[in-house]
């Protein structure tokens, strides 16, 4: 991840990115958190992952790299996505119970 190019290098036409994310439980009905941020394109890496909010989750996160790349390639100015954590709920449930927390996000892009 640290070896990946920064967003400004990989997508030179991208001038600004705003990310709004909401973390939900596995049913998608209970929101655990909501955040909005604007990453610094010169510092943020093009492998763009958001941690799962479940502190006990093993091997889970939300990878927005392909979503951002697709949006930039298609010159979209707004895109929404929903991702499901594929990690394990805890170290005692490895190979039996997936985490399945949900991330809903809106990306606003400027060129």
CATH number at residue 65: 3.10.20
User: What's the whole-number mean pLDDT along residues 86-95?
Assistant: 94
User: What's the whole-number mean pLDDT along residues 70-83?
Assistant: 96
What pLDDT, in 10s, does the model give residues 1-51? 568 899 999 999 999 999 999 999 988 888 888 999 999 999 999 999 999
Q: Are residues 61 and 85 in contact, defined by beta-carbon separation less than 8 angstroms?
A: yes
The DSSP H or E segment spanning 82 is: strand 78-84
Residue 70 counted as domain residue:
yes
Residue 94 counted as domain residue:
no
User: What's the whole-number mean pLDDT along residues 62-83?
Assistant: 96
Report the C-alpha gap between 89 and 83 in whole angstroms.
16
- C-alpha distances (whole Å) from 61 to each of 31, 51, 56, 97, 102 are 17, 5, 12, 15, 10
- Domain count within the chain: 1
Q: What's the pLDDT at 1?
A: 57
Q: What's the pLDDT at 3?
A: 81
Q: What's the pLDDT at 32?
A: 86
Containing structural domain, residue 11? 7-51+61-82+101-110
Q: Which tokens hold the place of 94?
A: 């490895």
């Amino acid at each position: 991840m640290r070896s990946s190019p920064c967003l400004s290098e990989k997508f030179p036409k991208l001038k600004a990115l705003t990310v709004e994310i909401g973390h939900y439980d596995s049913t998608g009905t209970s929101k655990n958190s909501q955040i909005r941020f604007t990453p610094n394109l010169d510092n943020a890496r093009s492998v763009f992952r958001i941690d799962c909010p479940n502190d006990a989750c093993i091997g889970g996160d939300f990878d927005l790299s392909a979503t951002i790349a697709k949006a930039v390639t298609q010159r979209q100015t707004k895109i929404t996505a929903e991702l499901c954590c594929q990690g394990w709920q805890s170290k005692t449930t490895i190979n039996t119970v997936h985490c399945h927390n949900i991330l809903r996000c809106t990306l606003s892009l400027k060129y």
